Amino acid sequence: MADNGVATKAPESDAQEENKTAAEQISGIPGDSQPDQGAASMGRNAETKQEVTKYGDIDVYITKPADYPHQPSKLLLLLTGGTGIQSTNNKLQADKFASEGFLVVMPDQFAGDPAPTTTTTAQAEQSAGILEQVKLGVASVAKSFTIDMWLARHTPEKVLPILQKVITSVKEEFADAVANGGGIYAVGYCFGARYVLLLGSELDKEAASGLRSPDAAAEEGMVRQGAQIKAGAIAHGTQIGKEDLEGVSVPLCIVAVKDDSLFPDHIRDEGKKALEAKKLEHEMKVYPGVPHGFAVYGDYDDEKIKQSQEEAFKQMLDWLKSH
């Protein structure tokens, strides 16, 4: 597993501090941990084996139990928040699952274009001569690169084809792990949470391949194909609508934050009613007094957040292991 000592701070733990060091700069996405800029190199120990490889033109971080393939593993697809696979915190999170026996595949959903950090946007602002900034939750980004612009480049039509290519590749390369688990498991944080829901839904083939949006395909009543995953777990999702939860057809675990503007209570409550109406196996726990993004590994000073972080990990881990 990566050395916990080099973890960056999750943004909520130092959002109000001034004069942060480079290692404490935060992502432009509210709730995301920052990319690994200037942090120490990832550590290694006997618990996991890590590598970064490519499936076609897609970068993928893979972390395996140390005794794999001598001991069977289940395959887990981990979908990150906007900071992507170069974030130290995201790698640590993947390693935690690998140390529990999962073969973890964490793809670059953003094709080399992760969310900007405050450091990179400050540099862009200086070079462009633009001083005006907009406030987005706990993060400030230059007006020349708003979060809306970034999100507009990373829609289901762009992200789902990336995930489909990775799924096709892992089914071939790690057929033993897929077979051992009876399918692919998935966990998603922040941005990645919605894509766990989409992969766990019966999308039509054109939507699944990115040829049209899932919403448009649903409205047109096209023939749907089965879910791409066996079971899923999500934490503090963003951009999730009621219809995303209504479409899920696989067992689902939800970690949520009380009074989270990025995953509003009414969306969560309506989604839960839909899951109950379908009699779909699910588990939901709402954590009070913690910030959005708390479930991703981060160096928080608040003991309550640390404890909730461990509880959320255990909740998701137990769910995946039991399915």
HEC per residue, the chain: CCCHHHCCCCHHHCCCCCCCCHHHCCECCCCCCCCCCCCCCCCCCCCEEEEEEEECCEEEEEEEECCCCCCCCEEEEEECCCCHHHCHHHHHHHHHHHCCCEEEEEECCCCCCCCCEHHHHHHHHHHHCCCCEEEECCEEEEHHHCHHHHHHCCCHHHHHHHHHHHHHHHHHHCHHHHHHHCCCEEEEECHHHHHHHHHCECCEHHHHCCCCCHHHHHHCCCCECCCCCCEEEEECCCCCCHHHHHCECCCEEEEEECCCCCCCHHHHHHHHHHHHHCCCCEEEEEECCCCCCCCCCCCCCCHHHHHHHHHHHHHHHHHHHCC
Q: Is residue 135 part of a domain?
A: no
| pLDDT the model gives residue 143 | 40
Flag whether the pTM goes above 0.85. no
The predicted pLDDT at position 142 comes to 47
CB count in 10 Å sphere of residue 160? 23
Q: Report yes or no on 23 lying in a domain.
A: yes
| % of the chain exceeding 70 in pLDDT | 70
- Span 22-38, average pLDDT: 45
What is the C-alpha to C-alpha distance for residues 322 and 252, in angstroms, rounded to an integer? 12
Q: Give the chain's end-to-end CA distance (angstroms, integer).
A: 24
- Residue 208's pLDDT is 55
Name the residue with tokens 């974030």.
Answer: 87
| Whether the predicted pLDDT of 145 surpasses 60 | no
Q: Residue 151 falls within a domain, yes or no?
A: no
Q: Does 144 fall in a domain?
A: no
* Residues 29, 138 contacting (CB under 8 angstroms): no
The tally of CA atoms less than 13 A away on the side-chain side of residue 174 is: 28
Q: pLDDT class for 210, splitting at 50, 70, 90?
A: low
Residue matched to tokens 């618990």: 47
Q: Is residue 138 part of a domain?
A: no
Residue 139 covered by a domain: no
How far apart CA 28 and CA 31 sit, in angstroms, is: 9
- pLDDT exceeds 70 at position 283: yes
Q: Which residue has the tokens 């900071």?
A: 83
* Averaged pLDDT for residues 195-221: 70
138 — pLDDT class (breaks 50, 70, 90): very low
β-strand partners of 189: 235
Better-scored residue on pLDDT, 292 or 143: 292
Q: How high is the pLDDT of residue 202?
A: 87
In angstroms, the Cα distances linking 25 to 153, 159, 228 are 23, 26, 36
Better-scored residue on pLDDT, 206 or 307: 307
**Is the model's pLDDT at 195 over the cut of 70?**
yes
Q: Does residue 49 have a pLDDT over 90?
A: yes
Mean pLDDT of the region 231-260: 96
Count of domains observed in the chain:
1
Dihedral of CA 63/66/69/75: which sign? negative
Residue 175 pLDDT greater than 70, yes or no:
yes
Give the pLDDT confidence score for residue 29 in this predicted structure. 57
CATH of the domain at 55: 3.40.50.1820
- Residue 215's pLDDT is 63
Residue pair 228/168 in contact (Cβ under 8 Å)? The answer is no
Residue 96 CB contacts under 8 Å (≥ 6 apart), including other chains: 1, 297, 313
User: Would 143 be classed as within a structural domain?
Assistant: no
Percent of the chain with pLDDT over 90: 64
What pLDDT, on the 0 to 100 scale, is given for residue 298?
86
Candidate from 15-24, 67-76, 104-113, 153-162 with smallest mean pLDDT = 15-24
Query: Cβ distance 199 to 229 under 8 Å?
Result: yes
Q: Work out whether the CA dihedral 81, 237, 24, 147 comes out positive or negative.
A: positive
Q: Which domain holds residue 294?
A: 4-116+157-321
Q: What is the mean pLDDT of the chain?
A: 80
